[in-house]
Amino acid sequence: MSSQLHSTLLLLPLFAAAAWGRGGGGGGASTAPSLEFHHRFSAPLRRWAEARGRALPGGWPAPGSAAYVAALAGHDRHRAVSAAGGGRSGAPPLTFAEGNATLKVSNLGFLHYALVTVGTPGQTFMVALDTGSDLFWLPCQCDGCTPPATAASGPATFYIPGMSSTSKAVPCNSNFCDLQKECSTALQCPYKMVYVSAGTSSSGFLVEDVLYLSTENAHPQILKAQIMLGCGRTQTGSFLDAAAPNGLFGLGIDEVSVPSILAQKGLTSNSFSMCFGRDGIGRIGFGDQGSSDQEETPLDINQQHPTYAITISGITIGNKPTDLDFITIFDTGTSFTYLADPAYTYITQSFHTQVQANRHAADSSIPFEYCYDLSSSEARFPIPDIILRTVTGSLFPVIDPGQVISIQEHEYVYCLAIVKSRKLNIIGQNFMTGLRVVFDRERKILGWKKFNCYDTDSSNPLSINSRNSSGFSSSTTENYSPQETRNPGGASQLRPLNNSSPAALYDSLLMMLILVHLAIMF
């Protein structure tokens, strides 16, 4: 089995004790130009080069290999700037100053990461994006602090409050401080976040500092927003060996989250969107409320523990529909999907009865119960569609429900990437793949639409805002990965990814690739 799947991650907080009270929770679209990019080792460019006798020294690197990843880190010097508008208010969305690109990193918990810059002068961090928690925290070094332990997955970059002229501690007597009894001094307010993954937590104290953002329109402008973040003195559990070694960016509903702060300051609508590409590359935009043609359903917000939860009223697996009511949380900080009975049993058994493939023998090293052998002569097999029906009748399509796992060299299994849960139902990142998901806290709705994260169209206000484009593939991508193509019978067919798909690749992803490489090496 691939070492990348020792465990799955659940970064939904069990509890949060910190410096804030409970709180939480607009755009028209305009036509945007669309550019098509081919990375330098795509099939079209390879055919073009070979036809002209322009062979590469050492030959063309194999997709997914170290040489392939390293070579793809070169700059293409193309730029795609969209003239798309913002949310329903007409204001352009905001994104991170380093660009709106996100990257799924398998070796770091199968989570999406983005580059953020904070402080004066700015320090840049590659942080995991988590809709299941609220606080944005960074591993921290400070006067009087014990230096954080180095993560097993690699050396982290530390936020140093004393090196930022705009950093200031949140005092214990602040109205936001809920842990006044635990304050060691009157100068700073502590926080502690404990997550569902066993033994996983972050603790430290809260500070205010500036976050660098950029408008997403034809003429991007850099903005500095005063936000609250955690100076993480101590991290435990998955943060030491599996995920977010460089920090976690909470996108939850509570008033301490960055989307809430941006809306409170009137910088954006109280909404944001994330696009999850099937190749692991995506986008994020603050203030984006989606498009008029997206599917929507109301959020079921528990005021005591607010999350992005919705009610499911039915499930269809291939040709087997059923009515089934349950509430589920949408959490980008959870690698795969967790379902409790009866939803888990219905989906997995209905899926199994419609798959014509040999079920893999039980394997304690694989977290999934339903896996199927893939022989060298079997590159694909049909899998049934999975569709969730919400209380409003909107249909949520699960485009890529599986995970291909390497058992040993040239041997793979395809697994239905759902983990059985005792109680919680959590839609993880894998069920959001291939979609643009809108977390609209202003209207209290969840929206979604099938979407190619590289495209812009008249119904999509999310623009491509990047510096120079550069080509690469994630260094953590399996040599064999699932991709589905629809057939007329309504089923999907499994096939390996190839490198002929168009790719718009960003300078910000180049820096992420370097940071991922460092994290994996050490």
pLDDT in tens, 368-427: 999 999 877 665 678 999 999 999 999 999 998 998 888 887 788 999 999 999 999 999
SS3 label, residue 80: coil
| Beta carbons of 478 and 65 less than 8 angstroms apart | no
pLDDT of residue 188: 81
Encoded amino acid at 317, one letter: I
Give the tokens for residue 165: 């002229």
Could you read off the pLDDT of 460-492 as tens digits, one per residue? 343 334 332 222 222 222 222 222 222 333 333
Higher pLDDT, 439 or 255: 439
Could you read off the pLDDT of 318-354 as tens digits, one per residue? 989 999 999 999 999 998 999 999 999 999 999 999 9
| Beta carbons of 295 and 446 less than 8 angstroms apart | no
SS3 label, residue 301: coil
* Reported confidence tier of residue 108, pLDDT bands at 50, 70, 90: confident
How many Å apart are CA 99 and CA 80, to the nearest integer? 12
How many Å apart are CA 493 and CA 382, to the nearest integer? 4
Average pLDDT score over residue span 10-30: 47
Task: List residues bridging with 212 in a β-sheet.
Answer: 224
CA distances from 443 to 46, 285, 293, 508 (A): 48, 17, 16, 31
Q: Which residues have C-beta within 8 Å of that of residue 377, sequence separation ≥ 6?
A: none
Block residue for tokens 């997955």: 153
Higher pLDDT, 278 or 317: 317
Global pTM reads 0.75
DSSP letter (8 states) at residue 10: B
Average pLDDT score over residue span 275-296: 94
Bridge pairing between strands 111-118 and 101-105: antiparallel
What phi and psi values does residue 262 have, to the nearest 5 degrees? -60, -40
DSSP code per residue over 194-224: EESSTT-EEEEEEEEEEEEEEE-SSS--EEE
* pLDDT above 60 (res 44): no
E strand or H helix that includes residue 351: helix 343-354
pLDDT of residue 456: 54
pLDDT of residue 52: 41
* pLDDT above 60 (res 228): yes
Residue 356: count of CB within 10 angstroms of its CB = 8
pLDDT of residue 359: 93
CATH 2.40.70.10 domain range(s) in the chain: 94-286, 295-450
* Reported confidence tier of residue 84, pLDDT bands at 50, 70, 90: very low
Highest mean pLDDT (candidates 6-15, 164-173, 488-497):
164-173
Q: Which residues have C-beta within 8 Å of that of residue 382, sequence separation ≥ 6?
A: 355, 356, 487, 489, 491, 492, 493, 494
Average pLDDT score over residue span 135-152: 68
CATH number belonging to domain 295-450: 2.40.70.10
* pLDDT above 70 (res 212): yes
* Reported confidence tier of residue 209, pLDDT bands at 50, 70, 90: very high
The sign of the CA dihedral 418, 424, 430, 431 is: positive
* Reported confidence tier of residue 503, pLDDT bands at 50, 70, 90: very low
pLDDT of residue 259: 96
CATH architecture of 94-286: Beta Barrel (2.40)
**Residues noted as catalytic:** 130, 331
| Beta carbons of 458 and 85 less than 8 angstroms apart | no
Task: Give the total residue count for the chain.
Answer: 522
CA distances from 370 to 273, 358, 404 (A): 31, 10, 12
Higher pLDDT, 418 or 28: 418
pLDDT of residue 379: 58
* pLDDT above 80 (res 192): yes
How many Å apart are CA 193 and CA 133, to the nearest integer? 9
* pLDDT above 50 (res 70): no
Q: For the chain, give the mean pLDDT.
A: 74
